[in-house]
Amino acid sequence: MNYASVAEAEALAEAGDAVAQNFVAAAYLSGSGIAADPSRALHWFTAAAEQGHAAAQNDLAMLFAEGAIVPRDDEQAFFWFRAAAQQGLAVACVNVARCYGEGLGTSADLAQRVYWMARAAETGHAQAQNELGVALLRGFGAERDPATAALWFRRSAEQGFPHAQFNLAVCFELGDGVAVDTTEAVRWYERAADQAFPPAMNNLGMCLEMGRGVEANLERAFWLFRGAAAMDFPPAEYNVGRCFERGAGVNANVDEATLWYFKAARVGHEASIAALARLQRADATG
């Protein structure tokens, strides 16, 4: 619905129009077209939610979940998320699933988490499709079903969701739910890496380093590792260290190798801790 002004919408909201109430609430929350006023936002979201407006119910739930405008109340958040989800609002279905997954406002129940994530996935919600795939792949709240997991990853990946593109690539690389196809794995790693998704950049670098599913290219592998490491991804920091230590795709530099191993070791990356210890022993006996 288009309104000439927030004032026009608020007049309709005062008359009981739920769509206008939700519009005005969002305007007061963001300060769009009117001075921000969180208390008025809460008032109008509540009014619209109580009339059954699904988006308002979800937004009101978010206010209770975040606890910025009103005191945090997980039970109220769950109540309103569920009200919106029961009307089929995909994002609310995802939020209900997460409440069940984390035990927020309700008892933790992984089977219910899967049920609500599936409700959202079936509407085409890419993130829900990926999370449903993860649950089915790992057997969290449902019987493990790698083949169906891969199907959900593909549906999400084809919408451009990088986490799913990465997960689908891993399925193809390992043959989990699909036949092993390293070329297809590389194709999906590429698509996720193009979106600067660090795990995909790191795994694509590994494929390029070893010539798995693609012609070996040590220089490109190094720069993929370096790009992911710049986003503080410990496995990539370790791989940058390896490249510097071995001179793979970059000039050998033990000091740089030590620096990158240290970065990953600080957060408990075991291979980096071992590499640092090895370099220290070599230096001591050097």
Look at residue 283 in the predicted model and tell me its pLDDT: 79
Q: Do domains 124-195 and 197-286 have the same CATH topology?
A: yes
How far is the C-alpha of 131 from the C-alpha of 146, rounded, in Å?
13
Q: pLDDT tens, 214-228? A: 999 999 999 999 999
Whether residue 76 contacts residue 63, with contact meaning beta carbons closer than 8 Å, is answered with no
> Right CATH number for 197-286 from 1.20.1440.20, 1.10.10.10, 1.10.260.40, 1.25.40.10?
1.25.40.10
Q: pLDDT tens, 32-89? A: 999 999 999 999 999 999 999 999 999 999 999 999 999 999 999 999 999 999 999 9
> Right CATH number for 124-195 from 3.40.50.300, 3.30.365.10, 1.20.1270.360, 1.25.40.10?
1.25.40.10
Whether residue 135 contacts residue 172, with contact meaning beta carbons closer than 8 Å, is answered with no
- The chain-wide mean pLDDT, for the chain, equals 97
CA dihedral of 204, 206, 207, 210, whole degrees rounded to 10: 160
Ranges of H-type helices in the chain: 6-14, 18-30, 38-50, 54-66, 74-85, 90-102, 110-122, 126-138, 146-157, 162-174, 182-193, 198-210, 218-229, 234-246, 254-265, 270-285
Whether residue 181 contacts residue 172, with contact meaning beta carbons closer than 8 Å, is answered with yes
**Six token digits for residue 133:** 């795939």
CA distances from 178 to 3, 85, 171, 173, 204 (A): 50, 32, 7, 9, 19
Look at residue 136 in the predicted model and tell me its pLDDT: 99
Is the torsion defined by CA of 106, 107, 110, 111 positive or negative? negative
What 8-state DSSP symbol labels residue 143? -
Give pTM, 2 decimals.
0.92
Res. 284 pLDDT band, cuts 50 70 90 = confident
The domain locations on the chain are 124-195, 197-286
Q: Which of 24, 4, 2 is nearest to 13 (CA)?
A: 24
Q: Which of 207, 245, 247, 246 is nearest to 224 (CA)?
A: 207
Res. 286 pLDDT band, cuts 50 70 90 = low
Q: pLDDT tens, 111-132? A: 999 999 999 999 999 999 999 9
Whether residue 9 contacts residue 25, with contact meaning beta carbons closer than 8 Å, is answered with no
Q: pLDDT tens, 130-177? A: 999 999 999 999 999 999 999 999 999 999 999 999 999 999 999 999
CA atoms within 13 A on the CB side of 69: 22
**Six token digits for residue 269:** 């990356």
